[in-house]
Structure 1
Amino acid sequence: MVFCGHCQDDCPYVKDPDNGIICCGICGKVLDPNIYDDGPSFVKDSSGQSRLRGSIIKAIEDGCSISRERTEAKGRDEIWQIVHGLHVSGGDDIICTAHNFYKLALDNSFTKGRQTSHVAAACLYIACRRGEKPYLLIDFSDYLHISVYVLGAVFLQLCQVLLLGEHPIVQKLVDPSLFIHRFTERLLGKRNNAVSDTALCIVASMKRDWMQTGRKPSGLCGAALYIAALSHGYDYTKADIAAVVHVCEATLFKRLIEFESTDSGSLTIEDFLAKAYEETVPKCSAKYGEVLCEHKDKGAEHFSHGLCEECYDNFTELSGGLEGGADPPAFQQAEKHRQDAAKRSKETAVVEETLCELNSSDVEDNIMTPWKVEVSEHT
């Protein structure tokens, strides 16, 4: 079974006997363009000597060499150290999942030329995304004391090698609510359900106002945590929040300004919480239409807005639903720019029209004045 981006599911695969490529057994999409052959072939190198072409992929029944076992054990130790260093929950399950990804990376020779800790961190991050753990890629880079861009490049290359580029593990949006409890504990040094619940309500309000669209979850979590901490009497600066959620103060300030421009931003914390606990996302009734979601080829019934009921519930949970809320901040900014441009063009047109009228009146005065003088001389 392999994941097919077109079918959006784990599907049986078919190996093309003529070309040696791997295709989806349902829709026929080419999943792996690499050509596999049962027999060896040889090519000549620059020195004229013959060498084996490609690489040999060993079967499971062939067993593992001592070097392979040592490499796998080293990768598992790296994963174990990162898990315990970052206090990742899940125990042996998350370690085994990450180690399985690491063994797949070994099968594709992905560890050659790369540090074991980098590959182990990338595998563990994929496992955390799969298990919806509240960890960002920058958390792993901070633990390893490397640049997040270096680790991000390893992660993207690993996803490409493992054919995970179109998998929901990578493509699915990250819910900012997952990180609230962890960021709260890092900021306060202890668990505080009151601050976390207030921050979750603020994040839910941001979702309804489309603030999560096109933005990283850390910025939204930072703004929500800053407001929640101040509302409960904690005196933390923006720099303290930025250090916890790994964003700069300018980004945090922008998220606060965007939240201030919403309807919820003008309320007191008491009114906001009272309104938040009263509001519930309305459950719409099923409507007739065409299914356009990932389950369109599986006989799913249409529920609303081109989605089946499962996809609609997932969308509502992540975005806060379509009911209520304000326009997206980017749309508000663009609309403001359009209104300002229209206002400036209108003012410019009025000024030009006034100047034209003044010029016309001056010309008329210049024409009429000599005629009046001539008439007075004749009289």
Structure 2
Amino acid sequence: MVGQFVPNSGGGVNVGGHFLQESREVTIRNAKRRIGQLADLVGLNHRQVESAVRLYLLAVQMGFLRGRRSEIVHAVCLYIVCRRDRTHHMLIDFSDKMQINVFILGACLLKFIKTFHITMPIIDPSLFIHRFSANLDFGEKTHQVSLTALKLVQQMKRDWIVTGRSPAGVCGAALLIAARIHNFERSQKQIVEVVRICNHTLRNRLLEFEETPTAHMSLDEFNRATDELEKQEELDENEEVDNNNNNDNDNNEENNSNGVNNAKKGQQSEVKIVVGIGFGDVSSKGRQGGRDDGMDPPSFRRNREQEQEQQEQQEQQELNEEEQQ
């Protein structure tokens, strides 16, 4: 029939289905190849490539690539896998390898996370200490400097310096202080170049650390304090295990309760000096914030200082008014 379309029953659907299947296979093949190439550049393994490919295919199915360059989404998927696996990779690593602005990658990452409701684990600055210290030429003392920097990072966590901050900035401050402790003359410029942050960020982290009691310790005092904390953490963990094992026995539970109370009293007397210089209860192990008896959050301290200043000004104003009367 001229001018009319006569469908081919059965054939059209099969051809279309076959085409879609081939198109999907081509997409998967290309994604594996390109993501694999990028993974090789940053040192990721085959399992991580497979995880990134699955994320990429999800993005394709949901139309996330519309209006976006595929290589940017490749990098975002790999970086999400890195965050989940807690590797030492940073977003700027992908930016360097791909020669793409890190802020473009960051914007795509935020949109990806929001679109697919992905929960990203908090970055622990400790992951990057060994990587950065290896590039600062500490020689045979690289391991010692790294350990000191790791202890400093842990203390910064307790004093709320890590919360809401870039991990690179925290690492930079910890490594600069650790280098000075071990008599290495490293300038702020050298740290900035290795850690890839601006000088203003590094200076702010150093100023925040300067306000903490830890900044006024000697190296021996600092080491003793951290050793006390590690011992106390182990003791707390052992007590928790013992209590869980003896919950079903009333008599044992009562005895354990008394033992725990006595142990806690003993801990308080032993670490009283430690508490006084800024250390203390380590029940916050694993958190990114501070402790109940440690430093208050910086924003809280600033607000409290402003309130005190306003109160003093108001009291002074009232005194002046009384004198005038």
TM-score (norm 2): 0.72
Q: Which is further off, 254-263 or 345-354? A: 345-354
Tell me the equivalent position of 1:122.
76
How far is 1:223 from its partner?
0.9
Amino acid in structure 2 at the alignment position of 1:226: L
Tell me the equivalent position of 2:193.
243
Tell me the equivalent position of 2:24.
68
Tell me the equivalent position of 2:297.
328
Q: Which is further off, 272-281 or 318-327? A: 318-327
Q: Distance in 2 between matches of 1:189 and 1:81?
A: 32
1:207-255 Cα offsets, whole Å, 9 max, x none, are: 1112222222222111111111222222221122222223221121111
Tell me the equivalent position of 2:287.
318
Tell me the equivalent position of 1:162.
116
Kindly report the root-mean-square deviation, in angstroms, between the aligned alpha carbons of the 2 structures: 2.8
Determine which of 317, 322, 325 is the counterpart of 1:348.
317
Question: For 1:7-46, what aligned pairs fall within 5 Å after superposition?
Answer: none
Does residue 102 in structure 1 map to residue 51 in structure 2?
no
Unpaired stretches in structure 1, ≥5 consecutive residues: 1-60, 287-312, 358-379
1:102-129 Cα offsets, whole Å, 9 max, x none, are: 1222222322332221011000011011
Q: Matched residues, percent identical? A: 35
Residue 80 of structure 2 aligns to a residue whose secondary structure is helix
Q: Distance in 2 between matches of 1:74 and 1:189?
A: 43
Determine which of 53, 59, 77 is the counterpart of 2:33.
77
Q: Distance in 1 between matches of 2:137 and 2:55?
A: 35
Residue pair 2:176, 2:191 contacting (<8 A) in 1 also: yes
Q: Distance in 1 between matches of 2:298 and 2:134?
A: 29
Q: Distance in 1 between matches of 2:150 and 2:84?
A: 22
More strand, by proportion = 1
Q: Which is further off, 205-214 or 69-78? A: 69-78
Residue 336 of structure 1 aligns to a residue whose secondary structure is helix
Tell me the equivalent position of 2:224.
274
Determine which of 282, 306, 318 is the counterpart of 1:337.
306
How far is 1:72 from its partner?
2.8
Q: Count the aligned residue pairs.
A: 263
Q: Distance in 1 between matches of 2:183 and 2:159?
A: 26
How far is 1:92 from its partner?
1.1
Q: Distance in 1 between matches of 2:106 and 2:130?
A: 25
Structure ranking higher on relative contact order (CA contacts 8 Å, 6+ apart): 2
Residue pair 1:208, 1:324 contacting (<8 A) in 2 also: no
Residue pair 2:283, 2:291 contacting (<8 A) in 1 also: no
How far is 1:269 from its partner?
2.4
Unpaired stretches in structure 2, ≥5 consecutive residues: 1-16, 241-281
Q: Distance in 1 between matches of 2:165 and 2:36?
A: 31
Amino acid in structure 2 at the alignment position of 1:188: D
Q: Which is further off, 319-328 or 199-208? A: 319-328
Amino acid in structure 2 at the alignment position of 1:151: L
Residue pair 2:159, 2:296 contacting (<8 A) in 1 also: yes
Amino acid in structure 2 at the alignment position of 1:181: H
Tell me the equivalent position of 1:217.
167
Q: Which is further off, 152-161 or 315-324? A: 315-324
Residue pair 1:223, 1:256 contacting (<8 A) in 2 also: yes
Q: Distance in 2 between matches of 1:255 and 1:86?
A: 28
How far is 1:144 from its partner?
2.2
Residue pair 1:204, 1:320 contacting (<8 A) in 2 also: no
Residue pair 1:179, 1:221 contacting (<8 A) in 2 also: yes
Residue pair 1:175, 1:318 contacting (<8 A) in 2 also: no
Residue 178 of structure 2 aligns to a residue whose secondary structure is helix
1:350 and 1:143, CA in 2 relative to 1: closer, same or farther beyond 3 A?
farther
Tell me the equivalent position of 1:14.
none
Q: Distance in 1 between matches of 2:138 and 2:174?
A: 18
Amino acid in structure 1 at the alignment position of 2:58: L
Residue 135 of structure 1 aligns to a residue whose secondary structure is coil
Q: Distance in 1 between matches of 2:284 and 2:116?
A: 27
Amino acid in structure 2 at the alignment position of 1:72: I
Amino acid in structure 2 at the alignment position of 1:245: V
Tell me the equivalent position of 2:209.
259
Tell me the equivalent position of 1:25.
none
Tell me the equivalent position of 1:140.
94
Amino acid in structure 2 at the alignment position of 1:155: L
Q: Distance in 1 between matches of 2:77 and 2:54?
A: 8
Residue 187 of structure 1 aligns to a residue whose secondary structure is coil
1:298-320 Cα offsets, whole Å, 9 max, x none, are: xxxxxxxxxxxxxxx99622347
Residue pair 1:238, 1:249 contacting (<8 A) in 2 also: yes
Higher Rg: 1
Residue 273 of structure 1 aligns to a residue whose secondary structure is helix
